[in-house]
């Protein structure tokens, strides 16, 4: 793809907002497009050869590489399951470019567009974005469903100059963890000598 404009490294990862099970035989195919044209080298494929539960915040699929997920490659009991990170690829962007994450999924839960939005978020890799996960159910993220199991996410609103991915955060702030409730600190005192009863 030879378009005018600056060259930016971009990759994308699909990250569950809630725990989700992937069955043996399920797969995700992902790729990026700029103004409707495929970004060369952005194709990603995640094939699940074993059934596994992916916890919230742990990578489920990503662009720029092909991987077969097998449980026996992970040390048992040493952390949550997740696939390998995205490999960002160079994209030439010009003013007004439309960047889309296209995906094709075979998981029975995620075939429903409403559940796809409810369960997943996108993490943009590269482009100086940081480590933020943007829920797909956000009102400023445009989603299209070209067909059963096909989802197209417009990343332009997140990448644009005023988009949340490019808004400056205070230097003291840490990367945002999306969809986590913020609770006030609560201090509970239990009288001495009284047994605790639920």
Query: In the chain, where are the structural domains located?
Result: 7-166
* pLDDT above 50 (res 18): yes
State residue 160's pLDDT score: 62
Which tens digits make up the pLDDT trace of 60-112?
A: 999 999 988 887 776 665 667 888 899 999 988 888 889 999 999 988 888 88
Question: For the chain, what percent of residues have pLDDT higher than 90?
Answer: 31
> Does the predicted model carry a pTM greater than 0.85?
no
State residue 103's pLDDT score: 93
DSSP 44-94: EEEEESS-EEEPTTS--EESS-EEEE-GGGS-TTSS----PPP--EEEE--
């Amino acid at each position: 793809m030879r378009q005018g404009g600056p060259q930016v490294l971009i990759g994308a990862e699909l990250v569950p907002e809630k725990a989700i099970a992937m069955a043996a035989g399920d797969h995700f195919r992902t790729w990026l497009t700029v103004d409707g044209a495929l970004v060369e080298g952005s194709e990603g494929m995640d094939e699940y050869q074993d059934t596994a539960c992916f916890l919230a915040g742990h990578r489920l699929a990503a662009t720029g590489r092909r991987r077969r997920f097998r449980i026996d490659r992970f040390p048992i009991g040493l952390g949550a399951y997740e696939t390998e990170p995205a490999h960002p690829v160079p994209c030439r962007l010009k003013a007004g470019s439309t960047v889309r994450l296209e995906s094709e999924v075979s998981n029975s839960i995620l075939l429903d567009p409403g559940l796809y939005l409810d369960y997943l978020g996108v993490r943009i890799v590269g482009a100086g974005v940081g480590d933020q996960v943007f829920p797909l159910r956000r009102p400023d993220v445009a989603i299209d469903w070209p067909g059963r199991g096909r989802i197209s996410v417009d990343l332009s609103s997140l990448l644009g100059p005023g988009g949340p991915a490019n808004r400056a955060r205070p230097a003291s702030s840490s990367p945002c963890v999306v969809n986590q409730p913020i609770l006030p600190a609560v201090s509970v005192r239990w009288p001495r000598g009284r047994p605790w009863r639920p």
